[in-house]
Amino acid sequence: MFNCDLCEKELDFVLLNGYDVGDRLLEGVIFKISKKKNGKYKAELYNEDDWAYCNQLNMKMFFKDMEGWAGETDIAECPNCGWDVGMNDDYPLTIEDKKSMLKMLVNDKINLSEKVKKEIVPKRIISLKREIEKG
């Protein structure tokens, strides 16, 4: 299970870009990364349509590479809002973390979809302010 600090959802999986393991061969191919009961990562294609292209590649190898990479990288993407999700963060955000996150959201220094900026960000700005006030 992963946690997103922006949309505040518990996530069964996060996303990683194939570029990380396959360079240009897998650029733009998105992998769905989940955690198995034994703590190991499982990689699958996020878009089933990508099989049309990926079928010609050694995907057995790339899935294995991606599962290894998932264990090394710190950051993946939230499938719900696009925010960076920590792969190993099972601790809550500190006040300092929250302050810098609030700053980023308020200054709009973020690469998120317009939909997320409209629907999720304003709510999170309010809840962050509240959490920071409380201390």
Task: Tell me the closest approach of the beta carbon of residue 23 to Zn ion, in angstroms.
Answer: 27
Which residue, 93, 79, 92, is CA-closest to 17?
Answer: 79
- Taking the least distance from each CB to Zn ion, the nearer of 31 and 83 is 83
Q: Is 4 in the site for Zn ion (CB under 5 A)?
A: yes
| Nearest-approach distance from CB 28 to Zn ion, in angstroms | 21
Structure tokens at 33: 């990364």
Contacts of 23 (CB under 8 A, 6+ apart): none
Round the CA-based radius of gyration of the chain to a whole number and report it.
17
H helix runs in 73-113, sequence order: 95-106
Closest distance between Zn ion and the C-beta of residue 101, in Å? 12
64 touches 21 (CB < 8 A): no
Does residue 101 belong to the site contacting Zn ion (CB under 5 A)? no
Cα 39 to Cα 60: distance, rounded to the nearest angstrom = 20
Q: Choose between 2 and 63: whose C-beta lies nearer to Zn ion.
A: 2
Q: Which string of x and - marks every residue 53-92 that binds Zn ion (by CB under 5 A)?
A: -------------------------x-xx-x---------
CB of 14 to Zn ion, least distance (A): 9
Query: Counting contacts by CB under 5 A, is residue 121 touching Zn ion?
Result: no
Q: Please list every residue from 7 through 26 that binds Zn ion, using CB under 5 A.
A: 7
Question: CB-based contacts of 109: which residues, under 8 Å, 6+ apart?
Answer: 103
Residues near Zn ion (CB under 5 A) are 4, 6-7, 78, 80-81, 83
